Chain A
Amino acid sequence: MTTIETHATGTAGQPHGSHSVAVVSGTVSTGGLVRWITATDHKLIGRMFVGVSAAGGLGVAVLGVLLGIDRLAADHSVLGLGVVPQLFGAYRVALIYAVLVPALLGLAIAVVPLQLGARSLAFPRLAATGFWLWLIGLILVVITIAANGGPGGGDRKMVEGFLAAHIVVLLGLFAASLALAASVMATRAPGMNMRRVPPFSFAALIGALVSVVALPMVIGGLIYSLVDYRYGGSAFGSSKELWDHVGYGFTQPLTFGFAVAVFGIAIDGLVTSTGKRLPMRGTMFLGFGLVGLGVLGGIVQFAAGVRRNLFDLSFGTALSDIVPFAIVQLLPLLGALIVFGLGGLALSKGRPQASAGAVLGMLGSLLIVAAMLANALYHIGDARLGGTVFEEGTRLYVGYGAVVAVIGGVTHWAPKLWGRMVPTKMVIPLGMLGFVATVLASLPYLIAGFAKQPADAVVFDYSGPKALWNALSLIGHVLMFLTIIGFILVAVGSLTSRNADDRPDAADDPWNGQTLEWATSSPAPENNFAAVPVVTSPEPLLDLKQEAARSA
C-alpha cells in the first residue's frame, strides 16, 4: 500500500484538482466538550490557541479604544487616573501574550506537523497543558486587574495574584513552544533535513526557540518581583514599578523574535501562489534566523541604543554604543530585508494567484519591517524618543501586523484545519482593512512621539494637533476591532455553513501546493498520514506533480 493514495477530486472550489493526492486514513474525532478539554490532536490545540487569541485581539482593540478616548481629552482623565495604569498594563500584556505569541504559536502548532509529514506533534499533552495554563493564567490576569491588581493597583493581594497569573501565562506559552520546537527538530519525515523544511515551519521553529530562550528570563524577573512585592517591595519597587525589571519582555526587539513566523506565512503563501520552487532557501533561512536575533533584546536585558551627541563622543565610546545597537536592533532588520528580497525574487519567477496567505502575509511582514525601522530610530539617542508614545506605536505595528498575517495564514490553511474554504475574496479586503487599521493605530503615535506625548499617560500637553493624532489612532483601533469581528464572522460562516452550494467542502489541494500538508485529505485526519512519507526534496508534492505531468 502506498502512503498517499489518490481519491476522487473535482470537488467545487478545487482549481487544481487534476493532481490532487490525499491520505485516506484515520478518523476525524467526534465532537463534545470533553474532546476539547482532553485534546491531544495538534490541529485542535492550535485552533484553540488561535480562537482564544482572536478574542484577545478584540480585547486589545477595545482597550485601545478606551485609552484612545481618554487620551482625546488630554487635560483630564475620563476613566480615572487610578484605573489608567492598570489598563495600560493589561493592554501591553494582552497585545504580546494574548495575541502576538499565542496566535502565531497556535497556527504553527496546527500546521507545522502536517508540513513535516509527522503523524502528531511531539509532546501533544505538554502542548495541551500549555494551552490550558495559558488560558487559565489569562483569565486570572483579567480577574486580578478588574479587582484593582495589576501595575499601579491598590489591592496588594490582587497585585500578587496578577504577577503569579502572569507567570502561569508565560509557563503555558513556554510549554507549547517547547513542544513545537521539539516537533520540528525531531518529528520530520524521513529525508526531510533542515534545508528541506517548509519556510513557515522553519520560521515557526525560530519563533519557538525565541520563546523557549526568552520566556524563562521574563519568568525569572517576575519571580523576583512577586517575592519582593509579597514581602515589602524594597528591591523592585511599588506596584507602579512592576514593569521596570521585565519591560524587555513586552517590547522590541524581543517581539520581532516572537513575530518571525509572520515572514514564514508570507513566504509559504507566496511560493504556493507562484507554483515555483523557492530560490536560495539557505539564505532565506538565514534571514529568518537574523530576525530571530531579536531574542538578544531579551537576553541582554538593556536597551542597546546609541547615546545622544554621538558625533561628539570619542571613537571608542561611540563604537561601544554602535556595535551592540547594530547587533540587537539592526540585524533583525537586515534579516527581514533578506527575506523580503528573496520573496520578491520568488515572485518574479511565476505568476502568483491572489491568495490570502501571500497577500496578507506580505502585508503583515511589511508592518513588522516598519516596526523594525521605527525601533531602530527609537534607540538613537539624538531622536529623543525615549519615554514617549513612539514605543507604543512600534509595538502596535508588530502586534497588529501579526494579526493581519494570521488572518491570511488561517485562511490559507483552513482546508486542512476545518475541511472548508474561507472565501479569499472576502478575507483579502478584510486583511487590507486590518493593514489600514494598523497604520492608523500606530503611525500617529510615531508622530506624537516626536512631539513628546508621554507613554502610558492620558494627561499631557504639547504644541501640535494632539487631538488629531489620538483620534486617528482611536479610529485605527476601531477598524482593527471591525477587522477581527469581520474575519470571525466570515470564517465561522464558512466553516459552519451546511449549504454545500454556498460553502463547498475544500479540496485536498486547493492552492496547487508543493509541501506535504497538501498531500493529505481535507480536513486532515487525526493522525495526518496513514504512513510517514519519504521526502527527497523541499517540494515533494511538486516533484510528484511534475513527474506525473512528464509521464502523462
Chain B
Amino acid sequence: MIALHAGPEPAPRRQLFVGTALACAGIITLFGGMLATWMRMRTNAIDATGEWLPRKVIVPEVPSNVMLIAFLPLCIFAQWAVYAARRDDRPNAGLALGLTGLMGLAVINGMVFTFNQIRLPVAGGAYNSMFYAVTGTFTLVVVLGVVFTVVCLFRYLGGRSTDREIVSAHALYWYVLAAVFAAVWFVVFVTK
C-alpha cells in the first residue's frame, strides 16, 4: 500500500492577514499611480500655462489637517483592539473597534466637509476632475475600512472573540490607509 503520511490539521497561516496585506499592496499602487499622474499633470500644466490650481479656488487646509490628525488616534484605537483581543478582553476590544469606526466616520465627514467648502465644480478643468477623482477614491476606501470595522465588531459582539487574526488584518488596513492619506494630504492638499 502506497500512501503519503497524514498531516496534522492545516497550519493556521493567517490567510486573512495575507489577503488583507495583498489588498493593501493594491491600494498603495492605486494611489501611488494616481498621485504620480497628478504630479505629472501638475508639472505639465505649470510648464505650459504657469497655472495648475484654478484662480479663486482655496483648498480648505483645516479639515485636511484634521483628517490627518484623526488617523493617529484611529491607528491607536485599531492597535488597542489588537492588544485587547490578544488578551481576550472583549469589552476593551469592542470599545476600541467602536472608536475606530467612529474615527473612520469622522474622516469621511471631514472629506465631505472639504467637498462642500472648496466650492469647486467637477467640470471645468484638469485640476477639478483630478481632485475629485483622487479624494473620491480615497473616501471610497475609507468607507470600505469602516465596513471592515463594523464586520470585525459584529464578529466580536457575536461571540467570535477567539478570532484575533481579523483584528490584526483590520489594524493593518487602517495603518496603510493612514500612510496613503499622508501622501494624498501632502500632494493634493499641501503642494496642491
A interface, CB within 8 angstroms of B? 1-6, 19, 21, 118-119, 122-123, 126, 174, 178-179, 181-182, 185-191, 209, 212-221, 223-224, 226-228, 230-232, 234-235, 245, 299, 301, 519, 531-534, 540-541, 544-545, 548
Complex CA distance for A2 and B4, rounded to whole angstroms: 7
Chain B residues in 8 Å Cβ range of A174: 26
Chain A residues in 8 Å Cβ range of B7: 3, 189-191, 531-534
Chain B residues in 8 Å Cβ range of A2: 1, 3-6
A227 with B2, Cβ < 8 A, contacts A122-B15, A182-B15, A532-B10 known:
no
Q: Give the nearest-CB partner of B33 in chain A.
A: A217
**Cβ contact within 8 Å between B126 and A534:** no
A3 with B4, Cβ < 8 A, contacts A178-B23, A186-B15, A186-B18 known:
yes
Chain B residues in 8 Å Cβ range of A185: 13, 18
Chain B residues in 8 Å Cβ range of A1: 6
Indicate the size class of the contact surface on chain B: 35 or more
Chain B residues in 8 Å Cβ range of A188: 13
**Cβ contact within 8 Å between B130 and A224:** yes
**Cβ contact within 8 Å between A232 and B29:** no
Complex CA distance for A540 and B9, rounded to whole angstroms: 19
Chain B residues in 8 Å Cβ range of A541: 4
A231 with B122, Cβ < 8 A, contacts A21-B3, A178-B22 known:
yes
B11 at the interface (CB under 8 A from A): yes
Shortest CB distance A459–B (Å) = 31
**Cβ contact within 8 Å between A228 and B30:** no
B53 at the interface (CB under 8 A from A): no
B73 at the interface (CB under 8 A from A): no
Q: Give the nearest-CB partner of B128 in chain A.
A: A231
Q: Which of A122, A123, A212, A224 contacts B133 (CB 8 A)?
A: A224
Interface of A, secondary structure class, is helix
Complex CA distance for A253 and B157, rounded to whole angstroms: 49
Cβ proximity bits B102-144 to A, threshold 8 Å, 1 near / 0 not: 0000000000000000000111111011101100110000000
Shortest CB distance A249–B (Å) = 10
**Cβ contact within 8 Å between A234 and B130:** no
- Residues of B33-75 at the interface with A, using a CB-CB cut-off of 8 Å, are 33-34, 36-37, 41
Shortest CB distance B46–A (Å) = 14
Chain B residues in 8 Å Cβ range of A209: 22
Q: A126-B19, A215-B26, A534-B4 are in contact. List 5 more A-B contacts (CB 8 A).
A: A217-B32, A224-B37, A224-B133, A230-B122, A231-B122
Chain B residues in 8 Å Cβ range of A227: 122, 129-130, 132-133, 136
A231 with B6, Cβ < 8 A, contacts A213-B29, A219-B30, A221-B37 known:
no
Q: Which of B13, B22, B136 has its CB near the most chain A CB atoms (within 10 A)?
A: B22
**Cβ contact within 8 Å between A190 and B11:** yes
Complex CA distance for A366 and B50, rounded to whole angstroms: 50
Shortest CB distance A24–B (Å) = 11
**Cβ contact within 8 Å between A3 and B29:** no
Complex CA distance for A179 and B15, rounded to whole angstroms: 10
B27 at the interface (CB under 8 A from A): yes
Chain B residues in 8 Å Cβ range of A245: 37
Q: Give the nearest-CB partner of A227 in chain B.
A: B133
Chain B residues in 8 Å Cβ range of A301: 33, 36-37
Complex CA distance for A545 and B7, rounded to whole angstroms: 19
Q: Give the nearest-CB partner of A217 in chain B.
A: B33
Chain A residues in 8 Å Cβ range of B3: 2-6, 21, 544
Interface of B, secondary structure class, is helix
**A-B residue pairs in contact (CB < 8 Å), sample of 16:** A6-B1, A6-B3, A123-B19, A126-B19, A185-B13, A186-B14, A186-B18, A190-B11, A217-B33, A218-B33, A223-B34, A223-B137, A227-B132, A232-B123, A301-B33, A534-B7
Complex CA distance for A3 and B3, rounded to whole angstroms: 7
**Cβ contact within 8 Å between A544 and B2:** yes
Shortest CB distance A210–B (Å) = 11
**Cβ contact within 8 Å between A220 and B15:** no
Complex CA distance for A259 and B130, rounded to whole angstroms: 32
B189 at the interface (CB under 8 A from A): no
Shortest CB distance B89–A (Å) = 27
B187 at the interface (CB under 8 A from A): no
B83 at the interface (CB under 8 A from A): no
**Cβ contact within 8 Å between A534 and B5:** yes
Q: Give the nearest-CB partner of B30 in chain A.
A: A216
A216 with B5, Cβ < 8 A, contacts A174-B26, A188-B13 known:
no
**Cβ contact within 8 Å between B130 and A228:** yes
Complex CA distance for A546 and B37, rounded to whole angstroms: 57
B8 at the interface (CB under 8 A from A): yes
Complex CA distance for A469 and B28, rounded to whole angstroms: 44
**Cβ contact within 8 Å between B29 and A214:** yes
**Cβ contact within 8 Å between B124 and A232:** yes
Cβ proximity bits B141-153 to A, threshold 8 Å, 1 near / 0 not: 0000000000000
Complex CA distance for A1 and B7, rounded to whole angstroms: 11
Chain B residues in 8 Å Cβ range of A218: 33
Shortest CB distance B77–A (Å) = 26
Shortest CB distance B115–A (Å) = 13
Q: Give the nearest-CB partner of A213 in chain B.
A: B29
Chain B residues in 8 Å Cβ range of A217: 29-30, 32-33
Q: Give the nearest-CB partner of B27 in chain A.
A: A216
Complex CA distance for A228 and B123, rounded to whole angstroms: 8
Shortest CB distance A50–B (Å) = 23
Complex CA distance for A9 and B23, rounded to whole angstroms: 44
Q: Give the nearest-CB partner of B35 in chain A.
A: A220
**Cβ contact within 8 Å between B22 and A234:** no
Shortest CB distance B22–A (Å) = 5
Q: Give the nearest-CB partner of A189 in chain B.
A: B7
**Cβ contact within 8 Å between A234 and B125:** yes
Q: Which of A126, A181, A223, A519 contacts B4 (CB 8 A)?
A: A519
Chain A residues in 8 Å Cβ range of B128: 231
Complex CA distance for A223 and B30, rounded to whole angstroms: 10
Q: Which of A191, A215, A221, A234 contacts B126 (CB 8 A)?
A: A234
**Cβ contact within 8 Å between A220 and B2:** no
**Cβ contact within 8 Å between A216 and B129:** no
**Cβ contact within 8 Å between A19 and B2:** yes
Q: Give the nearest-CB partner of A223 in chain B.
A: B133
